Amino acid sequence: SINAENDITWCTVSDAEERKCWDLAGNATARSIGPKLQCARGLHALDCMQKIKNGTADAATMYADDVYTAGWCHGLEVAAGESYNGEDGISYYVVALARRSSGDLSLLEMHERSSCHPGIRTTVGWTVPIGFLVNTSQISVNEQCNFPQAVGDFFGYSCVPGVKDPEHDPRGRNPKNLCEACIGDDNDRHICANGPQERHFGESGALRCVAENLGDVAFVKHTTVFENMQGKNQESWALDLELEDLKLLCPDGREAGLSDHLRCHLAAVPGNAVVVRLEDKCRVYKFLKRVEMAFGNTTQGFSLFSSLTYGGHDLMFSDATQKLLRVLGGYRSWLGPSYTTVLQAFECEGELY
């Protein structure tokens, strides 16, 4: 191109994503959609943040918690966000689920209770619930910023799959009680493993943990219960469970029905968003709108929101994206107040910086 400094360089984090990026570049050029797209390869989200900050890349799509790090620690902004329902940028709500029979449960008095988490260091299973408990002054974290220790001291026992894995527990000191509600596989192996061999792993595993009376509360997505009930999950624990057996626990200490997630949730977690430098916000958004109009909901030829032909998932954009939304405010306006507040609880942790 004659004017190379107007090119937009996209930071990709896998071979498949880079292939899709170059395909988009070629298709955009063929349709005379400018500016010209270039594709660069980053190692991971943090590497892409640094490349965008120093100008060797201009844009990358990132998960919500990476968007927070990009904004808070690197001064970057958001040009567009993914919408999965065509209306807003909320991906899902994190809710606290309990059995209806446990009468005196309150999210404001969880000390010594038992808890079921989809996994360590996950948004649903860790960041949101633990951030909530820190922000409501129920958990206090020591100067060493040791969250697992604080969580183990707080709950009576829990299942947090992966909490004893070497990458999350290099010194082997994370509390044992964070694995006590885990059950492993049929042969009692892989207890507390960070994967499906642990039958209490993931959202459906956390639901099972509460269904089997091994935990008082499960932290899950608002859709988890409906995805596992009424015959959708054929395992015996799910078939025995009735919707009326369960309730939501609300942040104000009250309880609500299972479909009341709009008013009774710990956080509304936003979809992925495109991270840029502030001065490129408008330029990148306009380019994305042009390519979305050309390739957004195409059935033949190149498709912006499909990764099938590249043998991957969610390359450049989530496959579930229905449309891209313009982000008028700063990165916090995309993340929303409930999710931003939860992430602030972890600011003493190294990985945010």
Question: What pLDDT does 297 receive?
Answer: 83
Reported as a pLDDT band with limits 50, 70 and 90, residue 2 is: very low
Q: How many CB atoms lie within 10 A of CB 152?
A: 22
Per-residue pLDDT tens over the stretch 144-154: 889 999 999 99
Instruction: Output the pTM of the full model.
Output: 0.90
Q: What digits encode the pLDDT tens for the residues 5-40?
A: 789 999 999 999 999 999 999 999 999 999 999 999
Assess whether pLDDT exceeds 60 at residue 292. yes
If one compares 240 and 204, the residue with the highest pLDDT of the two is: 204
> Please, are residues 27 and 302 in contact by the beta-carbon 8 Å criterion?
yes
- Backbone phi and psi for residue 103, each to the nearest 5 degrees, phi listed first: -70, -45
What is the C-alpha to C-alpha distance for residues 347 and 143, in angstroms, rounded to an integer?
Answer: 12
> Taking the domain 90-268, which CATH number applies?
3.40.190.10
Are 113 and 105 in contact by the 8 Å Cβ rule? The answer is yes
* pLDDT score at 1: 38
CA-wise closest residue to 116 among 20, 175, 200: 200
Domain 4-85+271-332 has CATH 3.40.50.1970: no
Q: What residue segments make up the domains of the chain, in order of their start?
A: 4-85+271-332, 90-268
Exposure of 168 in the CB half-sphere (CA atoms within 13 A)? 20
pLDDT at residue 353 tops 70: no
The reply to whether domains 4-85+271-332 and 90-268 share a CATH topology is yes
Percent of the chain with pLDDT over 70: 97
Please say whether the beta carbons of 274 and 8 come within 8 A.
Answer: no
Instruction: Determine the Cα–Cα distance for residues 74 and 70; give it in Å rounded to an integer.
Output: 5
Do 13 and 21 touch, CB atoms closer than 8 A?
no
Cα angle at 327 between 84 and 333, to 5 degrees? Answer: 95
